[in-house]
Chain A
Amino acid sequence: MWDWKDYLVLFFEFFIFFYCMGILSSYFIIGLVSALEVIKYKKDRDLTDYTELLKCPFVPSISIIAPAYNESVTIVDNIKSLVSLHYTKLTVIVVNDGSKDDTLQKAIDAYHLKKIDYYYDERIKTKEVRGIYKSENPAYKALIFVDKANGGKADAINVGVNISSSQYFACIDVDCIIEADAFLKMVKPIMREQKRKVVAVGGIVWLTNDSVVQDGKLIQVNTPNSFVARMQVIEYFRAFLLGRTAWSKINGLLLISGAFGLFERETVLEVGGYNHNTVGEDMELVMRMHVYLREKKIKYKVGYVPEPLCWTEAPSGYDILSKQRNRWTRGTIECLMIHKKMFFNPKYGVLGLVSYPYWLFAEWLAPFAEVGGTIFVIVLAILGMVNWKIFFLMLALVYVFAMFISFFSILVQEISYYKYEKNNDIFKLLFTAMIEPFRYHPRTVYWAIKGNYDKFIKNSSGWGEMTRAGFNTPAKK
């Protein structure tokens, strides 16, 4: 006869088993759908002559908004790379967010900036704007440099949105490398859409650690020397290549990377710009746009270009990486709590019924399920109640599945973009994927749990210190 303890154990067993199987199945389906879309995109891209857009009067106008804080060392080169991008209707708005170093003076000297009277409608309230500058050199007529009081990244972007007069704006990190034809590719989903308004477009962000960069251009992509950074390369393959592409296909994409994304300016103004009160401001904005447009019953799309158009540097040590992941966890929690009305709410369509629940169960709660399941097994083991054969089989299943998905993401990258030209790089990535579940994954679970602890118990907020080595670190050729 079974008593209540047996039923309790059975309940946990079912819950954890079906939860895990649900997660693995969803990864499998998302990965498959994404791979097919990536291959279709590549065929389409190879048949398109994007240079025709350079003379096209129908392309939407774009402002690049690049917040800058204490970027004295790199600001001159960063601006140079932005104004050199291949796009005709482009404005570059660099927002100096109250830097404590000489970022402003460096820019003034390099680009012959002069303070001007510039009127703009402050539709989103921001911190004080101290001055707006334009270059006296006609070669930089597309550049607007804004100096403002420190208010954080979200506030800086909001200033840029106020000042911009373009149809779309691109929010980027000033030290990212953007491919020269990135915007030519990003506008294609906007221009192709016949029935819906495209309010945002995301793109793939990949990692440049130990790659060769010259004059702000990526010359050769190498796998990072550091295991930590290499692990993130595979994570980014899975997330950007095999994840977001599928979500965009069903118009259920909740997140566009803060490092690189294109947004329709008027819609962002309507929803009030970026939210200062969350560290997940990029995801929160997209979710708020979804909510607004659904409630207004406006037909829209959040697009995605599954090609690496933006390159950034990943943390190469556990210290900085743990802070980043802590922030991402807190950002996810905040966004899900702010928009909790979407949860299983049919009013929000696929977002409420699929995207939001997925993020809740597969992103936020997954570390708890993992830790809970581990504790559950330990307790059962102590009580002598574990069928060890099946236990190890299940463990093996999870491990080989992780390898399967990681190897698949490496293959899709290979077929689609072939960025890592050296065979040695591929061997490194395959090997790294094999040891990830043991050496890296437990840390990410810990950081996620800690992020929850910091959010709910310590009530932490803010970004923390993020230091980067910069692109000009010695790279192998």
Chain B
Amino acid sequence: MSLLLLIEHNDIPIQDKMNLSKMYGENFVIHTIEAVILFFIIGAISFAIYTLIRRTILNKRLTYIEERKILFDKYLLSLVAPEEDEALNITSSSSEIVDTPALDISDIADPLGREILLKQLLSIHKQVQGEEAKKIKQAYLTLGFKKFALEKLRSNQWDVIVSGLQELMQIRIRDAYKDIFKLLNHKEEAVRTIAMKAYIQLNIDPLDFLLDVKEELSEWQKKEILYSLEQLPLENLPEFKKYLSAKNNSVIDFIIYLIGHFNQEIEEPILEKYLFDTNVLVRLSAIKTIGILGYSNLKQILKERYTNEIHGLKIEIIQTLGLICDENDSLFFEEIALSDTPSLSIPAIVSLKKTQNKSIEYLIQTLVNDENKENISKLVAHVNALN
């Protein structure tokens, strides 16, 4: 008999069929299918109902949020630009809330109310500076948000931790850096990255953690770190070269980049040493930084490195030399411009144009001869069109 009982066999005696049905077959299969159908029906109906109910709840919630926003905005703006006749009545019994107009404590007793107030507070804090920002920060502290933010750092949910970090970073709660330090090795990459960002903004030695970073820094992490550093006053920036003792190549490459980006001084022999590093990205950063800092004393070393370098770094060397060379170096560029490799010829022509500060006609006159006329003319015209 068919196991699945989709097929009926008329040659099997009725009593056997009935016995089989009793023992095992048809009922079991039917009940199983019915159970699965029921599961999917309940699931589908639940999804549909939840979708529709959720909208209703969301709309109501949005209305509640808008009402609260208006109330909280009034409170927060009164902190920033207080006018006595608009001060709210003090209804809180808390003795801490004396300097600022208070809210009704019931408005912030529930988590949603607190979250709305926090969002408004952070939003206004982003828009103000100086004394107004300090007042907002004071309100943040007296309303007890710091405690909640530190609790968020201990959450099991990574997105909660990240939002706590962002809060502490924005409000500049400096003593939180010790709690943040523990998160630099969190298993979730998003937490590690924001923890780096927050640590930089809150710690006196913002990049000391880089000396212990084991993982390769991603471009995203570099972007976050750079962004954080750019928020610091220039006088608070550390001397980046002290982090060149890191063992991690991605850190060294990034530090060299930062030195160039922030135009910090570094001894030429140190940069020169990195032109010979085994790591391609370190060499790349060193080449670019030489150009940014204008270290023309290193141009001879760069020319010597050119021959032994990989194709991609050859292009970088040509571009860097275009920044630090002068008319006396034209022969170097001319040789490359006349080579059979357009991907090198083009940057060489660009650099030649920069260092010579001459017209395209002069370049054509210098480079073009009867043999290479067609090719070189094309390349020179290309450079002219794009530059």
Contacts and interface: CB of A to CB of B under 8 A. Distances in A.
Q: Do A and B come from one complex?
A: yes
Interface of A: 6, 9-10, 13-14, 17, 43-44, 46-47, 52-53, 56-59, 116-119, 121, 134, 188, 190-195, 380, 384-387, 389-391, 393-394, 396-397, 400-401, 403-404, 407-408, 410-411, 414-415, 423, 426, 430
A193 B218 contact: yes
Nearest to B379: A119
A387 B8 contact: yes
Interface of A is mostly: helix
Contacts of B54: 414-415
B191 to A, nearest CB: 10
B367 to A, nearest CB: 14
Nearest to A389: B30
Contacts of A56: 223, 226-227
12 contacts: A6-B2, A14-B4, A47-B190, A58-B219, A117-B381, A134-B385, A192-B189, A194-B216, A393-B34, A407-B44, A407-B51, A414-B51
Nearest to B257: A57
- In order of increasing CB-CB distance, the 10 nearest A-B pairs are A117-B381, A119-B382, A116-B385, A191-B219, A407-B47, A191-B220, A43-B159, A400-B40, A404-B40, A192-B220
Contacts of B223: 52-53, 56, 58-59, 191
Interface in B8-49: 8-10, 26, 29-30, 33-34, 36-37, 40-41, 43-44, 47-48
B166 interface: yes
Contact of B37 (A192, A391, A400): A400
| Chain A CB within 10 Å, residue with most, of B43, B47, B50, B381 | B47
Contact of A118 (B34, B220, B385): B385
Contacts of A396: 37
B219 A390 contact: no
Contact of A387 (B6, B194, B219, B346): B6
B218 A400 contact: no
A404 B44 contact: yes
Interface in B128-157: none
A386 B4 CA distance: 11
B47 A47 contact: no
Contacts of A13: 2, 4, 6-7
Contact of B7 (A44, A387, A408, A414): A387
B33 A10 contact: no
B342 interface: yes
A446 B44 CA distance: 27
Interface in B365-387: 378-379, 381-382, 384-386
A379 to B, nearest CB: 11
Contacts of B26: 387, 389-390
B71 interface: no
Contacts of A393: 30, 33-34, 37
A380 B6 CA distance: 10
Contacts of B346: 119
B340 to A, nearest CB: 12
A195 B343 CA distance: 28
A396 B385 CA distance: 67
Contact of B159 (A44, A193, A408): A44
B52 A426 contact: yes
Contacts of A46: 159
